[in-house]
Structure 1
């Protein structure tokens, strides 16, 4: 059963078309990887699917909810780590996580905050203003905000950026645990070696269009790994141009 659906999504910014008639389906329990070069349309698609941006045309459903008609309900149901976005600079780490919990109407707020600050070894940063945190600490806080309400669906845009190897592994292990529990993950990443170890389904997007999608084996084809397949596909696309 599909829990994330994009149906003929097109997005234009003035004279630039960022997405061309994109259709995508992610089933419940999939760990789905969305890959492409810079400017391919990954982040634009994720913003539309998470109710942050309206498409020019097309339809999007998340957990059966129409994203365009009811974006706030979608946001309550999902966990999201946006690309290159930091928590509000004027809040402390604790205040930000408290705000996230209130918006998502979760119970046991203080115990959840305590758990995730401890998970990411951020107890000493609890009272720090977010603008004073390191890039790695801000990323850990964004991950904590995505995990804290235990959603069934995650949208993770470059989730491991700025993380040290220890916390990168902790985050990966938790995300894999969620996948084993039957939760659904859509992840964008440039780290194809990591993605290959995590994902069971993938799609490659380029110039605003889905170039290929399927299981890892289907997308790899005769190539030795996902990175080789990706580079081969991009090379073929350049030849077509």
Structure 2
């Protein structure tokens, strides 16, 4: 049984079937890429995994926790990086990480050590005592990544991990995620970026219209996704723009 498990997940919003019988699992040692176009059901699935919504049907487990029945325990044990999440504007990064450490019952000295480690790793040491309202979106994203890994969780759930980061930090984060999974942890990455998925994932699930339509195992993380059977080829083979919500036509537009 995987560290992250989704079995028959179904969720509707009115007449819209956002997720339709989604099933997959993520084992330790994997970077699992959840790849799909806008409107495919990625965000709804991630919200179910983090306990933000109650599924209509199906079962969801993260580290044997039911995120709906025990959302606080799930968030205490799991690392979560939401795509549009941001720290409270009235706190500094140091204060926010201290708060996160307190919620997760971490020793203050351990939190201080981890704060120094992550602020140095991601390059926001000079901003530790600056209010978040005065930080750039990229600096806020760095803090959100730091809080997710502060307690060295066995599983992390990340939505668009490289959003708002500069190229140097992007490369560092990609390499860290690959190494973190290799250290017997489960990493779930939701993205619409095929290049990112091809580079860092050991396995990719392709999502369209609320369903998992294909899976592909990649030999190694940090690959280039090239070749006759590239991830882009697999994606285009299984995602039909004529049958998928919110996907533009691929037909050539004449000038």
- Whether the TM-score (by the shorter chain) exceeds 0.5 is yes
Residue 215 of structure 1, aligned match among 200, 214, 217: 217
CA distance in 1 between counterparts of 2:216 and 2:64 reads 22
Which residue of structure 2 lines up, in the alignment, with residue 238 of structure 1? 242
CA shift at 1:232, angstroms?
2.6
How many residues are aligned here? 237
Q: How does 1:162-181 map to 2 (within 5 A)?
A: 162-181=164-183
Deviations 1:133-155 (A, max 9, x none): 11110111111111111111010
Match status 1:157 vs 2:159 = yes
Residue segments in structure 2 that go unaligned for 5+ positions in a row: 220-224, 246-255
Check conservation: 2:208, 2:244, Cα contact below 8 A: no
**C-alpha deviation, 1:27, in angstroms:** 1.6
RMSD: 1.9
Q: Give the Cα separation in 1 of the matches to 2:150 and 2:175.
A: 16
- Separation (CA, whole Å) in 1 of partners of 2:26 and 2:111: 30
Given that 2:32 and 2:189 are in contact with CA atoms closer than 8 Å, whether structure 1 keeps it comes out as yes
2:252 maps to none
Q: Is the 8 A contact 1:43 1:83 kept in 2?
A: no
Q: Normalising by structure 1, report the TM-score.
A: 0.92
State the shift of 1:223 in Å: 4.5
Instruction: Structure 1: give runs of 5+ residues left out of the alignment.
Output: none
Matched residue SS, 1:197: helix
For 1:188, the equivalent position in structure 2 comes to: 190
Matched, 1:104 2:104: yes
Larger relative helix fraction: 1
Q: In the alignment, is the contact (CA less than 8 A) between 1:81 and 1:159 conserved in 2?
A: yes
Task: Kindly report structure 1 stretches of 4+ aligned residues shifted beyond 3 Å.
Answer: none
